[in-house]
Amino acid sequence: MNIKILGPGCKKCEKLYNLTNEVLDELEKQANITKVTDFNDIASYGVMKTPALVIDENVKFSGKVPSKKDLKKLLK
């Protein structure tokens, strides 16, 4: 599984990154997590609001940090 956190490095972006790692640990899943901070790269996903979560090149959330429960559903 490849996961990308899209955002300039703001507090919400860091929160999403940390929450994603936490959920992966709880689910005992392995994934490659990458932070994408370049605005051109972020825009290439059609994302206008950050943070955004991309799983295997599909945008799952944009403009908010999902709840832990919602994130677990996506990562199972």
In a domain, 27, yes or no: yes
What is the model's pLDDT at position 5? 98
Q: Which residues pair with 5 in a beta bridge?
A: 35, 53
Domain of residue 7: give its range: 2-68
Number of domains in the chain: 1
Tell me whether residue 63 is one of the annotated catalytic residues: no
* Active-site option among 1, 2, 9, 10: 10
pTM exceeding 0.75: yes
- Across all residues in the chain, what is the average pLDDT? 96
Length of the chain: 76
Q: Identify the CATH number of the domain in which residue 7 sits.
A: 3.40.30.10
Catalytic annotation, pick one of 3, 5, 6, 13 = 13
Rounded Cα distance, 23 and 16, in Å: 10
* 42 labelled catalytic: no
Q: Could you tell me if residue 73 is inside a domain?
A: no
Average pLDDT over residues 37-43: 95
49 domain-assigned = yes
- Flag whether 46 is in a domain: yes
Query: Can you tell me the mean pLDDT for 41-60?
Result: 96
Give the pLDDT mean for 28-51. 96
- The 3 state secondary structure assigned to 37-48 is CCHHHHHCCCCC
Query: Could you tell me if residue 74 is inside a domain?
Result: no
